[in-house]
Amino acid sequence: MLEIKQSVINTFERVGIDYKSMIDSDEVVVVENRFGGGSCETTKLLAYLVHWVYKVSNDYEAGIYNVSVQDFDRIRYFILDEDSVVYNTCID
């Protein structure tokens, strides 16, 4: 995994993502596109972040705006920077 930029760490902390407990995990996790658009293997952290993006997206659709758009986008682009296959399969 790439070194995590301080701005991303700040975002993780601001939105309550416990990245430290997942960053060194060797566990391989399968993530699935929530609309049935495929699946792929990734790290525990990226799998968590994909599900976090889905949850925040659902919240936005329900009118719940607890996360800023800037933080939401920073997490999405972190996923893209780390693994474009995961991003293209599950986020894009």
Render pLDDT for 25-36 as a digit per residue (tens, 0 to 9): 889 999 999 998
Indicate the pTM of the whole model. Answer: 0.93
Q: How far apart are CA 31 and CA 53, in angstroms?
A: 12
Listed residue (78, 85, 69) closest to 31, CA to CA = 85
Q: Could you tell me if 12 and 20 are in contact, meaning their C-beta atoms sit under 8 angstroms apart?
A: no
User: Residue 92 — very low, low, confident or very high, per pLDDT cuts 50/70/90?
Assistant: confident
Instruction: Determine how many CB atoms are found less than 10 A away from the CB of residue 71.
Output: 18
∠ CA 88-89-92 to the nearest 5 degrees? Answer: 45
Q: How far apart are CA 74 and CA 27, in angstroms?
A: 24
Q: Is the pLDDT of residue 2 over 60?
A: no
